[in-house]
Amino acid sequence: MTTVDDVAAPPSDFAGYYATGYPRLAAQLYAYLGDATEAEDLAQEAYLRAWRSWSKISQYDDPVGWVRHVAWNLATSRLRHLATATRFAARQPAPESTAVAALGPERVALVAALRQLPERQRCAIVMHYIADLSVADIATELMVARGTVLSWLHRGRTQLAALLGHPDQTDGGDP
């Protein structure tokens, strides 16, 4: 895989070519895909491929057409991939386990409260109370000290209690 540090700066004529063509190509792909982020990613990928071979592509009669062709091929491949994944998912039997229980009001409130926690606290709470991992296992997996996990669990429980309407509840939960 090539990194930015491994390649030279683009030729000056490429910068102008990119600046004028990229917004139009991204807009076209957005109209085709219906997803702005995906459209931008694919347009950037097409321009990256052009940049890698710019000395050759710049000599083409229509370098813009080449990039557009590459971008459209990437977009079509992406749509095919999504269609295949959707068909595969539709053929799968419904899960029989109770891993994801029906979403009652309590579960909706819990998920909403969890989303408000800082990422590390949320991760620790979910790993400990839902995935049933020990504090030591969480510390190992997240590559932090055991005390850090305990702190995240304490703070997360305290904040969850407040968010769920139990601010006077002390945090005496076992880690």
Q: What is the CATH number of the domain that holds 153?
A: 1.10.10.10
Task: Output the six-digit token pair for 109.
Answer: 């409130």
Check residue 2 and give its pLDDT: 46
Identify the CATH number of the domain in which residue 32 sits: 1.10.1740
Which residue range is the domain that position 26 belongs to? 4-91
Out of 91, 123, 150, a domain closes at: 91
**Domain co-membership, 65 together with 117:** no
Check residue 5 and give its pLDDT: 47
Ranges of residues in the chain whose predicted pLDDT is under 70: 1-12, 95-103, 167-175
The pTM assigned to this predicted structure is 0.48
Check residue 40 and give its pLDDT: 95
CB 43 within 8 A of CB 19: no
User: Is position 170 within any domain?
Assistant: no
Check residue 50 and give its pLDDT: 93
**Domain co-membership, 29 together with 68:** yes
Check residue 98 and give its pLDDT: 53
Check residue 6 and give its pLDDT: 46
Give start and end residues of each alpha helix (H) in 53-166.
54-57, 63-91, 105-116, 119-125, 135-142, 146-163
